Amino acid sequence: MEQTQLASKGKREIPKIKYKVSSQMEAMLLGSLMILMISFIIAQAQLKTGFYSSSCPTAEATVRSTIESYFNKDPTIAPSLLRLHFHDCFVQGCDGSVLIVGSSAERNALANLSLRGFEVIEDAKSQLEAICPGVVSCADILAVAARDAVYLSNGPSWSVPTGRRDGRISSSAQASNLPSPLDPVSVQRQKFAAKGLDDHDLVTLVGAHTIGQTECRFFSYRLYNFTTTGNSDPTINQATLAQFQALCPKNGNGLRKVSLDSGSPAKFDVSFFKNVRDGNGVLESDQRLWGDSATQSVVQSYAGNIRGLLGLKFAYEFPKAMIKLSNIEVKTDTEGEIRKVCSKFN
Ligand code: HEM
């Protein structure tokens, strides 16, 4: 079928490959070439940075100023906006489906009941509708808001590829694939892998827990009744157990909030990873990342940075992982719609 000849007998002998192809193979090659070309066209239709530069040049600035004004009144809005984007992307892709109001909509799924920040996105949207009606999607506002939220919390910034369209489906039943704080690493890994994210992405993205809070009900069982025999989770650092117990007292208010990163709750830094390394992770799912050799080495790579370079690696890797997250199952071109109001389909 295939034979190699020497193209010349000069100084540099370049192997020349000669193919003998049947007409059947020719047809197959042509077919593959067409598939390649179609994939290329589809790839071209994907997101791009500055998507609104001519259709709505102030789009990103409008989102930024809106987030900033809410953040200045209440900095805890930043982690909530970051989480909102994550929960949007994991269900039906990053398409604003989490924003829809309705009894069977995503927003009503158990895992989404404590989401916050909807009014911030809606506010940005109504300002954008006044400037450039029908142009900027709610899905893009969520992605840009997440980036701005990290930046305002002293974290890194990055260019957000845009051009997402809003979805036309929002179903609470589909939200069951969101990770649970009880998930062992194997399940976390599987849920992230289903979205094209590997172990490195998983640990890097969970690093978002460097800001924000959790309700005691997601954490107390680790302090008092881990094995149903009245024990605490043995992986909790015994030196800090009493401090955790003071934050979430036994049989206390399950809705009381505690910081996910007890080191520096409002600052986007690597102290979350140090906590996980030292047995001070709050959520069980976070602490488990230290118990698996693959995820442990990623945690260690962020927690153990040498002085002076502290946080640089995380600040470099987090935006890359966020761009991957923000790209999950996006709708582009003529798919979906551009909603007029983020909480309702057109
Ligand atoms: C295995 C994966 C994950 C699990 C099990 C998980 C679970 C949780 C839980 C239980 C809370 C507390 C919710 C509450 O008390 O109302 C929370 C908060 C939060 N999560 Fe995650 N999460 C995961 C991954 C992520 C990712 C990938 C991001 C973002 C990229 C993220 C961002 C946040 C933020 C910022 C908060 C704080 C929200 C606030 O203060 O309002 N999480 N997460």
pLDDT tens figures, 260-309: 998 899 999 999 999 999 999 999 999 999 999 999 999 999 998 655 46
pLDDT of residue 246: 97
Regarding the beta carbon of 179 and ligand 1, being less than 6 Å apart is answered yes
Regarding the beta carbon of 280 and ligand 1, being less than 6 Å apart is answered no
Regarding the beta carbon of 188 and ligand 1, being less than 6 Å apart is answered yes
The pLDDT confidence band at residue 19, using thresholds 50, 70 and 90, is: very low
Taking the C-alpha atoms of residue 240 and residue 341, their distance in angstroms, rounded to an integer, is 46
Q: Are 231 and 300 in contact (CB under 8 A)?
A: no
Taking the C-alpha atoms of residue 45 and residue 250, their distance in angstroms, rounded to an integer, is 54
Q: What CA dihedral angle connects 94, 99, 100 and 104, to 10 degrees?
A: 90
Regarding the beta carbon of 275 and ligand 1, being less than 6 Å apart is answered no
The pLDDT confidence band at residue 125, using thresholds 50, 70 and 90, is: very high
Q: Are 195 and 90 in contact (CB under 8 A)?
A: yes
pLDDT of residue 152: 98
Domains of the chain by residue range? 2-44, 59-177, 185-325
Which residue owns the Cα nearest ligand 1 atom 40? 212
CATH number of 185-325: 1.10.420.10
Question: What separation in Å is there between the alpha carbon of 266 and the centre of ligand 1?
Answer: 14
Regarding the beta carbon of 272 and ligand 1, being less than 6 Å apart is answered no
To the nearest whole number, what is the mean pLDDT of the chain?
88
Between the alpha carbon of residue 67 and those of residues 88, 117, 132, 144, the distances in Å are: 18, 10, 19, 10
Which residue owns the Cα nearest ligand 1 atom 37? 212
| Closest residue by Cα to residue 159 from 176, 144, 172, 173 | 144
Taking the C-alpha atoms of residue 41 and residue 46, their distance in angstroms, rounded to an integer, is 9
Question: What separation in Å is there between the alpha carbon of 182 and the centre of ligand 1?
Answer: 12
Q: How many helices (H) and strands (E) does the chain have?
A: 13, 4
User: Ligand 1 test: best mutation among 118, 204, 210, 214, most atoms within 8 Å of CB?
Assistant: 214
| Closest residue by Cα to residue 141 from 168, 114, 157, 120 | 120
Q: Indicate if the pLDDT at residue 17 is higher than 80.
A: no
User: Ligand 1 test: best mutation among 67, 85, 86, most atoms within 8 Å of CB?
Assistant: 86
pLDDT digits (tens, 9 = 90+) for 44-103: 348 999 999 999 999 999 999 999 999 999 999 999 999 999 999 999 999 999 999 999
Q: Are 13 and 5 in contact (CB under 8 A)?
A: no
Q: How big is the CA angle at 238 (ends 237 and 241), to the nearest 5 degrees?
A: 90
Local structure of residue 17 (DSSP, 8 states):
E
pLDDT digits (tens, 9 = 90+) for 202-255: 999 999 999 999 999 999 999 998 987 789 999 999 999 999 999 999 999 999
Q: Identify whether 200 is a catalytic site residue.
A: no
Question: What separation in Å is there between the alpha carbon of 83 and the centre of ligand 1?
Answer: 6
Q: Indicate if the pLDDT at residue 14 is higher than 70.
A: no
Regarding the beta carbon of 62 and ligand 1, being less than 6 Å apart is answered no
User: Ligand 1 test: best mutation among 89, 198, 209, 299, most atoms within 8 Å of CB?
Assistant: 209
The 10 Å Cβ neighbour count of residue 178 is 17
pLDDT digits (tens, 9 = 90+) for 27-38: 444 444 444 343
pLDDT of residue 230: 82
pLDDT of residue 311: 78
Q: What is the DSSP annotation of 226-285?
A: TTSSSPPPTTS-TTTHHHHHHHS-TT--TT-EEESSSS-TTS-SSHHHHHHHTT--SSHH
pLDDT of residue 117: 98
Q: Indicate if the pLDDT at residue 161 is higher than 80.
A: yes
Regarding the beta carbon of 172 and ligand 1, being less than 6 Å apart is answered no
Per the listing, tokens 């992605």 go with 143
Q: Tell me the CATH architecture of domain 59-177.
A: Orthogonal Bundle (1.10)
Ligand 1 atom closest to Cα of 181?
5
